[in-house]
Structure 1
């Protein structure tokens, strides 16, 4: 257990926060700090063909140790952390034998991780938890995934009696700002399929995700002295407020679950002359996803029509950009890759929790680039904030799942009951 704790802490204490406003890849220079460390570590544990390109994408190979043809599989995780909450100066806390009670993260600021609010904590009573100190995020998203992949590869190298085919490992930057797969060279990676280790609770197995888009709405106005503003002033902040109020009630992240989509207003800045609203659009259904984008345009057009005579031009400008799509379309034709992961979990005594992702992973985009890529749990909870934590036992189980997937893939019919068509490279 201590080995996996030490490895994880060595990763999370390196700040790798990404930046959506940057145009470089990686978006922040500090991501190179962990990237370069990972390259050296991959070499040290005995991985082959270790490469890092000029955009910090890392790839490495564990060669096959069987003589028969076996598909090449991959495991992928990202090393950046979200810009939603600071990842600088992370000070992890180890909570052995968790007693099911409140965990005081920070005495001075009275920050408490409580099972009365975060009920999932009670699933891990008696286990070892790694938490934050209440002032930063932890970075289990997705340094837990990197820890698990690295540990699993090291285990396979040290235990050559476990048979497996060729395995490719990929670590990416900038996943948290939606760019993790943008420069991922699928052809160079050379896997028939892969798995992202980027889920949450132990047992999660996902091959459906949101269709996603981002919208930037600019509202214009006219500033006039408030004492003489009658019939003249146009306050862009109030128009932005009207726009927000025109969105469907109850279709927000905090009021939806499962397959339910939403609009999420996540940023608003401005003054009388101009305000800018940023929001994200999510839905599992492609049809509903398109309807949501159409609604944004419809609301904008309605406001423009209302102010057409007074303002003389469009007072609202809506820019909508698709971000990623539901991987289900690409994974279902090769559903056996999900079945292999499900069987692997069962064989290491993990109950599979197959459900849609209420978000996205690198695997979403990779699936559309020709690399089908379901998502497997990494074990962390409460990502992107100070209440983030990860049970060490969950990371250990993820390592076991990776090893078992590698083993099953080398077996006839992948160890599944029915023969499956398999593609090899």
Structure 2
């Protein structure tokens, strides 16, 4: 005799050469339903991972993840709030000097942001891959480096002069706020991969401090880069001594971040809906099997098969559907991701000619499979228990 008996019977119920065409079709559809749901969720979640990775590498690598400053952006270096180092997973910190400016050339006028650069805060622009930065903006020469988008707007090239106009920290008793202006020579034009980095001007930090009328050891604030900028939650309402406060990239790019959060939540809901629909199909299939196998169940009960074994038989049958569907869905999705030409063809048919990044997370695939099996366990308990309530006396009366 096969032991455990319920495993043998459940596999016999799963597929048998003597099955009718209808039984084979509903078995096939139950497995296909789970396969398609797992396959689609793995593909879509991998696409979402790809978008997050693209966002992190192409956007968040160029902007600070958090900024500490005050309202006037004029801070003494000694006022840095050291307690923040205990509460945040920080990768690097850099001070910065910056101001909004009006940039004027012979061909036009545009707004931009000025940054003061030296060896202490070079990592602010390290990701731009600008060669020989300090030789091009050496102190006292009033040289500048600008991005290509700003250069196109102003219609300038290397060697041309630009005039920078900023609002001064100083005030005139009669005129109120006054403006500072100074001419700088463009010594380099750097390319950018993302419009988020556009309209920036880099000048030497010493020249910048003189131009801004900053006192020694005063800066605009500190830039923070985090190890996990997407998952780390920065409390933007946190205030420190000396009227300092912190703001993160999520507050500045709130629309983009909120859309990413909504997409993730929608995907989670769709995941549960797709899996639940497929599992409902398994539940219906189990009920059909129980109705079809009433005589067999009644005979097995008369032969001494316990209610526990009958329940385990149909529980195992439902789990077999899910396990086979999970394995097939996982294999097909991974195959299509690895053979990305097939996947790109289907994605281009649906979304048009756009590049969709894909990043596979093994742990995510594992969790998807585990969650689908947990949901299956919950849903198939009732039909499995219902099979134990069949009474042989009633079923076999007219046999």
**What TM-score do you get using the length of structure 1 for normalisation?**
0.23
- State the TM-score, normalized to the length of structure 2: 0.24
Higher relative contact order (CA 8 A, sep 6+): 2
* Structure (1 or 2) with the greater helix fraction: 2
